[in-house]
Structure 1
Amino acid sequence: MDVDVGIVAQRDNERAQTLAASLVDALEREGASVVVDEATGEAVEAAAVPVDAMAGRELVVSIGGDGTLLFVAREVGSTPILGVNLGEVGFLNAVAPDDALGVVTALVTELNETGTVEGRDLARLRASGVDADWSLEPALNEVLVHGPRRGSGGGATVEIGIDGQRYTESHADGVLVATPTGSTAYNLSEGGPLVHPAAETLVVTQMAATRAMPPLVVEPETEITLTISGSESAYAISDGRNRQHLEPPATVAVSLAEESVRLVGPQANFFDGLDKLE
């Protein structure tokens, strides 16, 4: 079996590390070439590499919650990912820990025999400066623009542009643009709609706006601009992690990223996940 596999286990999670060790043993017995992330390598006897070095392998297995898979997706780009769910909800991770050995070994066997496996592509967003030369790492969930700090009292004026036309302008805590994947995350907590994973749309949602308009659902190819003013500083943030400091007035362009995230193997049940939301 000539298949290259990477395994990333949730940091400081003994259960995830134990499962990673079992997967390494099973896959290496089948002849696969397996590496784990560096943090896991400190607890598991296996070859270890940085997560971004797993980009280009035939499969990467993410063991943990949706946050772990988001991290893996940022590092490996369009490399096929299988999620094993150790979290609470699991919109992205479809495989239960007890099923992981069987599912992963079957998937690797299929890869070895056919060179491909079924899956689905998840859109990502790219945020970049209109009047400045910068861009953020692609976001699987959302891009957020807000004033000097998040929350009450830290807002700014944000104008939302859709294909060159103004949708609305208001003082707000911020504005976010979410993918269908991200509709169940920050977008939902700010009153945005749930979007089925199969829908090819984006959602633009204001956060605590003084002159609020309903969240707007647009086609993925829509040209979205967020122009922020009325504050001394501001930020553009990708998936709550990567950020760019802005000096208002500043305009942020949000568009589809060139590379999507590829989830393979069994897919999570969207409606089962909704039942677990608080």
Structure 2
Amino acid sequence: MRVGIVAQKGNSRASVLAGRIRDTLPEEVEVRLDAATAERLDREGYPVEEMDACDLVVSIGGDGTFLFAARGAGPTPILGVNLGEVGFLNGVAPDDAVETVEAVVAGSRETDTIPSREVPRLRATGDGDWSVHPALNEIVVQGPQRGHGQGLDYAVRVDDRIFTAGSGDGVLVSTATGSTAYNLSEGGPLVHPDVDAFVITEMCAAESMPPLVVPGDSEVEIRAEGPAYGYVSSDSTRERFEMPESVTIRADPEPTRIAEPSSDFFQALGKLE
């Protein structure tokens, strides 16, 4: 069995915990540390992009670390250890991390399975024959920068029917998982993670429709016009595109798999107050 560990960069507590997990697992289990963590522990490291070669990936940090690990994990289940304040994606407390990883690894070696739940991701493609890495939280289409006069003109269609059009900083499309993140700060609704739906939220628009919740199999098209260029963001990564451009957003065929135990959604909500 092969276990990958991705620890929050620059967090000594995360690195120490990664080392403890590595040293506790049986010798028959191959452990792959991400490059930054391996350097701190004076071990051999691996690019996060290669973590999909593992049977289990352990993310140690906050939700940002989990998103970073998910970019390279592909179909591999991810077990999140929460060192952050809220932790919607990380269900394991630091004090329980070593024991939990041991139990998951032992169960996998016995049954050849890792209990996990699938969460959808979003993929954005453009008419200019480009795409961005799938997003676990949200896709954002925006102008050169936020602020008055720096946005774009847009028209949003859902399954080829017009929903809204206007001017603003941009348009955000989030998964149910991501509804507690950027979407929430833009005035979008909370969506329970078990709901198969996406949320479309206009960002600081001159005139806007209320955020719209659409089925998870919907296709959202954003026609962007205005300045010479704009940006499309997939979680924490951003790519530039030339305008005018049509960005199509739909569910990615490959979901992210979160290894149990998953985080308690309602308990995490209480930390937002």
250, 256, 272: which one aligns with 1:261:
256
State the TM-score, normalizing by the size of structure 1: 0.95
Unaligned stretches of 5+ in structure 1? none
SS of 1:258's partner is coil
Distance, in Å, in 1 between the alignment partners of 2:208 and 2:125 is 25
Contact (CA 8 Å) 1:38, 1:48: kept in 2 or not? yes
Please list the CA deviations of residues 230-272 of structure 1 after superposition, one character each: whole Å capped at 9, or x if unmatched.
22321111113132x2222211000111211100021101111
* 2:30 counterpart of 1:17: no
Structure 2 residue aligned with 1:242: 238
Look up the equivalent residue of 2:216 and give its one-letter code: P
Look up the equivalent residue of 2:15 and give its one-letter code: Q
Structure 2 residue aligned with 1:215: 211
Q: CA RMSD in A?
A: 1.2
SS of 2:232's partner is strand
Q: CA deviation at 1:152?
A: 3.4
Q: CA deviation at 1:210?
A: 1.4
Contact (CA 8 Å) 1:125, 1:138: kept in 2 or not? yes
Distance, in Å, in 2 between the alignment partners of 1:273 and 1:233 is 38
Structure 2 residue aligned with 1:134: 130
Distance, in Å, in 1 between the alignment partners of 2:113 and 2:11 is 31
Label 1:232 to 1:48 Cα distance change in 2 as closer, same or farther (>3 A): closer
Distance, in Å, in 2 between the alignment partners of 1:224 and 1:116 is 35
105, 110, 114: which one aligns with 1:117:
114
Q: Which moved more, 1:91-100 or 1:228-237?
A: 228-237
Runs of 4+ that moved beyond 4 A: none
Distance, in Å, in 1 between the alignment partners of 2:245 and 2:209 is 22
* 2:261 counterpart of 1:229: no
Q: CA deviation at 1:37?
A: 0.9
Q: Which moved more, 1:73-82 or 1:192-201?
A: 73-82
* 2:248 counterpart of 1:272: no
85, 89, 108: which one aligns with 1:88:
85
Please list the CA deviations of residues 44-102 of structure 1 after superposition, one character each: whole Å capped at 9, or x if unmatched.
25432111222131101011100001000011212111000001100000100100111
Distance, in Å, in 2 between the alignment partners of 1:124 and 1:151 is 28
Distance, in Å, in 2 between the alignment partners of 1:10 and 1:168 is 39
Q: Which moved more, 1:40-49 or 1:156-165?
A: 40-49
SS of 1:117's partner is coil
SS of 2:50's partner is helix
Distance, in Å, in 2 between the alignment partners of 1:242 and 1:28 is 40
Structure 2 residue aligned with 1:99: 96
Contact (CA 8 Å) 1:28, 1:34: kept in 2 or not? no
Distance, in Å, in 1 between the alignment partners of 2:138 and 2:60 is 22
Aligned residues between the structures:
273
Look up the equivalent residue of 2:268 and give its one-letter code: G
1:145-160 superposed matches below 5 A: 145-160=141-156
Contact (CA 8 Å) 1:158, 1:169: kept in 2 or not? yes
Structure 2 residue aligned with 1:173: 169
196, 202, 205: which one aligns with 1:200:
196
Look up the equivalent residue of 2:8 and give its one-letter code: Q
Distance, in Å, in 1 between the alignment partners of 2:26 and 2:36 is 20
* 2:53 counterpart of 1:48: no
Look up the equivalent residue of 2:64 and give its one-letter code: G
Contact (CA 8 Å) 1:137, 1:242: kept in 2 or not? no
SS of 1:55's partner is helix
Unaligned stretches of 5+ in structure 2? none
Please list the CA deviations of residues 104-152 of structure 1 after superposition, one character each: whole Å capped at 9, or x if unmatched.
00000000000112111111110001x2110001111111011121233
Contact (CA 8 Å) 1:159, 1:227: kept in 2 or not? yes
